Structure 1
Amino acid sequence: MSMKRIFKPSLIALFFFSVWCSNSSAQLIVKPGDPHLSYIGRIAKSLDSVAFFWPGSTLKMNFTGDAVDVTMRSTREAGYFYAIIDNDAASAFKFKVDSNRAEINVAHGLAAGSHSLEIYKLSNNTSKNILYGLRIGGKAKLLSPTALPIRKIEFYGNSITAGHGVDVPPGQKESGTAEFYNNYYTYAALTARHFGAQYSFIARGGIGVMVSWFPEIMPEIFDRLDPFDSKSKWDFNKYTPDVVVINLFQNDSWLVKLPEHEQFKARFGKKAPTDEFIVDAYQKFVNSIRNKYPKAFIICALGSMDATAPGSKWPGYIEKAVKNINDPKISSLIFPYKNTGGHPNKKEQRSMADQLISFIDQHVKW
């Protein structure tokens, strides 16, 4: 018997063993700039990395495979995300991204066939979250991306819009830590999903129109890609919303009463702003938005925290500014005071969404 015949069975066995090993450990490395991936929100994209800044920033991907890992890290502070498989938000996996570059398993044990993945930023814009790549396990393949919705909506807001406190467990004292932010269940995100619209949330906890709890105010950062970099400008030609919702003044309403606060002194000196100054400041910001989006329907909202409590002047300031602007496609919407402690919880955010959805149905022709 020849040597060839002696070794042939062994070579065949080795071949099939190699194929089995290859299939059992198959994987696909995906770069963030791959054209099969789609993004929603203001993000900085290159072939090798993508930076998420604002709450609600989203990656979407269609694929086959049995597991997905993402490699990410955060700067400034930790960020929190949802990983949503096959649009099943009820089973979303919430994960943390900190300063250590790490690979995080966001899905495993997936059945054969096609799947979708959504990576959704839950937390404030005070974290910069960098995605370096994804790894898909099993019989991995990228599929064509789902077309993004034609409708577009954009929100400018504070902690209410960003999602401060939405994930605070019942009975636990609210805090402003990133862990308890959840933009996904804010009135803004709920409204966008109701209309099947793309979304952009330009929101930060503590921000105001005239004064904030920190140096920056919304008129100074609304046109930025990276909110902490004055040279990082957003290209407004990349995203033109049909509807813009502004929900600001909650923080201003507190800070104008605190003459000893450093930001009061920095913005106003020793004297609180007059009613005329407040109305004018709001008008100027709304006009800045109108200049960027000449055709958008703009909703000037307020609430549902104590800036809309009975006797508050702040709804009147907004209504006066809207009247002064005298634009048929600019209206005001005042959310009723929720009259409970802390920031709006999921139920209260849902109530705000219902009111906003109804308002849009009545006033906007998509």
Structure 2
Amino acid sequence: MKTYKTIKRDKNNLGLSCLLGIIFTLQSGLLLAGNFIEPDDKYIQYTGRMDFVNPKQPLISWPGTSIKAKFTGKTLKIKLDDQEGNNYFNVIIDGNDQFPHVLHAKQGSHVYPIAFYLQDGEHIVELYKRTEGHEGSTKFLGLELADNGKLLNPPTRPIRKIAFFGDSITSGQGNEAADNSGDLDLSEKNNYLSYSSITARKLNAEHHTVSLSGIGIMLSWFDFTMPEYFDQVNGAGNNKSHWDFSSWTPDIVVINLFQNDSWLVKDPKRISPMPNSEQIIQAYVDFVYTVSQRYPNKPIICALGSMDITKQGSNWPGYVKTAVARIKQMDSKANIDTVLFEHTGYKKHPRVNQHQRNAEKLTEFIKGKMGW
């Protein structure tokens, strides 16, 4: 027969434990006041590849993923659960993207106060992911409004749609860094100010961005490539998740890859023998063809640059142009073009001013092509 020992509790210690528990709960953001809005509320608008396996905890991973809501009330808080504590978000209130609230997500579940003294009336909030899959994924757990606040019908979605596939240039690696500093500070990686996002806003288009710093078509700085990565719904590393391409169809596709390949194919420790021109061209053809199969009959722009891959004397623009010509020979109906972003001589990742120039060039090209 089992016997059970009675545990005597000290009332003072019990009271102290309860107090500490309450403080911890408040600090962890698990105790919410006000009017809490669940992530599956019909008035919350999601843009980008997001994993909704658990609709109460949709997973954000790709750069440029956006969550919008229109609400009333003077206060706003956002609840997130971040995987690693390395992600940054822009929180844009009422379209004021010149001075966003830059949110650094801490690891774990937390509530982030965003606004306390808003004017009476309607407001729009956008949570926009600045960083990328290298920084891990984030669960969106909801919004907290003022007691009298409520959600309204979300903003009207843009009709136009653009899909971007790229590397660190498209992600916006180091674009907010000073010209004379490095590229690795995560707070200075801002996809909102990359050429891709700027182009989409100039064209009033919704965009999906599938990009990752260091990735290539043939080789990457890690052990997977874009052909293995581009079809995931979760962009946090190489995984077995699958994106449903039929759920969102772009009007036009922009591919800006090969920068990392151009560096890495010269390294015999990574690939041996070094691929020849024909193999490089065919690898590009194969990937573009694969993307075109996911978006049948949609125009594709093969962009390149603006780092040293487009410098004077580089062979890589010729590789891309040859690949595009080959695709047109294979399919007379292929709607595919090439856009080159000029190399300025700058030896690091393009800064915001370079992204703006590239966006202007791409915007004008798409306007002419699509009649936008």
Normalised to the residue count of structure 2, the TM-score between the two structures is 0.87
How far apart are residue 259 of structure 1 and its match?
1.4
**Residue 216 of structure 2 aligns with which residue?**
208
Say which SS state the counterpart of residue 333 (structure 1) adopts.
strand
> Structure 2 regions of 5+ residues with no counterpart?
1-31
- The one of 240, 243, 255 equivalent to 1:234 is 243
- The one of 275, 285, 302 equivalent to 1:300 is 302
How far apart are residue 245 of structure 1 and its match?
0.3
Residue 142 in structure 1 maps to residue 148 in structure 2: no
**Residue 10 of structure 1 aligns with which residue?**
none
**Residue 30 of structure 1 aligns with which residue?**
37
Matches within 5 A, 1:3-42: 27-42=34-49
**Residue 316 of structure 2 aligns with which residue?**
314
1:264-311 deviation digits (Å, cap 9, x = unpaired): 1xxx3x211110000000000000111011121100010000000111
CA distance in 1, matches of 2:285, 2:323: 5
**Residue 27 of structure 2 aligns with which residue?**
none
Residue 156 in structure 1 maps to residue 158 in structure 2: no
| 8 Å Cα contact 1:297-1:364 kept in structure 2 | no
CA distance in 2, matches of 1:140, 1:27: 8
Say which SS state the counterpart of residue 198 (structure 1) adopts.
strand
How far apart are residue 79 of structure 1 and its match?
0.4
| 8 Å Cα contact 1:66-1:138 kept in structure 2 | no
How far apart are residue 100 of structure 1 and its match?
2.6
How far apart are residue 88 of structure 1 and its match?
0.8
How far apart are residue 50 of structure 1 and its match?
1.5
| 8 Å Cα contact 2:88-2:103 kept in structure 1 | yes
**Residue 123 of structure 1 aligns with which residue?**
131
Say which SS state the counterpart of residue 251 (structure 1) adopts.
helix
- Residues 232, 105 of structure 1: alpha-carbon distance in 2 compared, 3 angstrom cutoff: same
CA distance in 2, matches of 1:340, 1:81: 27
CA distance in 1, matches of 2:171, 2:291: 19
How far apart are residue 73 of structure 1 and its match?
2.3
Matches within 5 A, 1:1-366: 27-45=34-52, 46-76=54-84, 78-126=86-134, 127-171=136-180, 173-227=181-235, 228-260=237-269, 264=270, 268=271, 270-326=272-328, 327-365=333-371
1:114-133 deviation digits (Å, cap 9, x = unpaired): 00000000012222011112
> Structure 1 regions of 5+ residues with no counterpart?
1-24
CA distance in 1, matches of 2:304, 2:161: 21
Say which SS state the counterpart of residue 43 (structure 1) adopts.
coil
| 8 Å Cα contact 2:165-2:255 kept in structure 1 | yes
Which amino acid in 2 is paired with 1:129? T
Say which SS state the counterpart of residue 106 (structure 1) adopts.
strand
| Stretch of structure 1 that moved more, 327-336 or 189-198 | 327-336
Percent identity of paired positions between Structure 1 and Structure 2: 37
| 8 Å Cα contact 1:282-1:321 kept in structure 2 | yes
Say which SS state the counterpart of residue 146 (structure 1) adopts.
coil
CA distance in 2, matches of 1:26, 1:139: 12
CA distance in 2, matches of 1:42, 1:349: 23
CA distance in 1, matches of 2:259, 2:123: 41
Stretches (4+) displaced over 4 A: none
| Stretch of structure 1 that moved more, 345-354 or 72-81 | 72-81
CA RMSD of aligned residues (A): 1.5
CA distance in 1, matches of 2:84, 2:102: 20
**Residue 11 of structure 1 aligns with which residue?**
none
